[in-house]
Amino acid sequence: MANRTGFIISIGEIEKKWRIDHGVKDKGHTNMSGFGFLRPDTEVASHGLVGKEPGRNLMIGLDKLKPGGGIKAHYHEWGPNMPIFDHAYYVISGKIKAVVGDEEKIVGADSLVYCPSNVLHSILNVGKRTARVLRVTGSDENTVMGGWADEKKQPPAKKGGFILPIQEIEQAWRIEHAAEAEGHHNMHGYSFLTVPSEAALHGMVGKELATNLMIGLDQFPAGGGIVEHTHVTNKEFPVFDHAYYVLSGKIQGTVGDTVKVVGKDSLIYCPSNVKHAILNVGDTTAKVLRIAGCDKGAKMGGWDKKK
């Protein structure tokens, strides 16, 4: 098991090395640009490194879809050597028509499209401006992710996954943290997706449980943030992947000994056993997507201030 140290990287650095453009006539991905921030070891072996080091459970990329651009209906191959993995799109901006199995919905900013890899899924920009969508996958460590497949190859699952806009989250899964709160201060959080071990401790969020992936949105007024911490790590609580993606605002990220101020479309990758913190050092409210990935059935260690 390789030891990860984490990193902080901005879209400016990503554009120089890890940008892929897809034309109007390209198959599958059309009229869009993709930016890779993080890949696990198995994907690095087949597609090359993005970011500053491989991830353990997470793969994260940003897609910019021009009007009419998108990712056509597909699912991912699965079998004994390619288990089903968690897959999601988070709409940052724009107007997206999403399809997950038999569900179809048009959604805007701060909506989650959760599509397990064996369920047919697609996204399409039906708006008049470029849309920004964060592409996130979670899988067991060392898992080989199945590649693109169409309906002719094997019948995809019809059920599973969901499409969830922020308006539904606000009604049921919003948490407030006061300015004087310990750890998380002067902020509020919204939970979209969780795994069984976390649901057992903190309750259900979203419309169904994921296997490997947790996603939530945090909003920080000026001066709000999450103080420096690590997560409990031992035989019961293995190290898991953890990241913050800056959607808007000016965030000071801390990962290990690295401290860096970044803006929108920046990734703060902080494995759970590495000290990390985020702080809104800007004058306006900042929005940050909170992402975690773990092995199937793993328990995620809670807050640990001692390290």
Q: Could you report the per-residue pLDDT of 287-304, keeping only the tens digit for each? A: 999 999 999 999 998 888
Q: How far apart are CA 123 and CA 98, in angstroms?
A: 5
Contact 94, 293 (CB under 8 A): no
- The residues, any chain, with a CB within 8 Å of residue 252's CB and separated by 6 or more, are 225, 259, 260, 261, 278, 279, 280, 281
Structure confidence at residue 154 (pLDDT): 65
- The amino acid at 107: V
Contact 286, 278 (CB under 8 A): no
Fold for domain 169-304?
Answer: Jelly Rolls (2.60.120)
Contact 194, 214 (CB under 8 A): yes
Partners of residue 280 on adjacent β-strands? 251
Write the DSSP symbol of residue 28: S
pLDDT in tens, 209-265: 999 999 999 999 999 999 999 999 999 999 999 999 999 999 999 999 999 999 999
Partners of residue 277 on adjacent β-strands? 254
Domain 7-148+162-166 has CATH 3.40.605.10: no
- The residues, any chain, with a CB within 8 Å of residue 203's CB and separated by 6 or more, are none
Contact 116, 176 (CB under 8 A): no
Write the DSSP symbol of residue 224: -
- The residues, any chain, with a CB within 8 Å of residue 225's CB and separated by 6 or more, are 185, 186, 187, 252, 277, 278, 279, 280
Is the pLDDT at 20 greater than 70? The verdict is yes
- Residue limits of CATH 2.60.120.10 in the chain: 7-148+162-166, 169-304
- Please state the rounded mean pLDDT for residues 149-167: 81
**Backbone phi, then psi, for 180, in 5-degree steps?**
-95, 5
- Of 246, 250, 189, 262, residue with least CA distance to 222: 250
Q: Which two tokens stand for residue 181?
A: 């709160």
Structure confidence at residue 203 (pLDDT): 86
pLDDT in tens, 28-56: 899 999 999 999 998 998 888 999 999 99
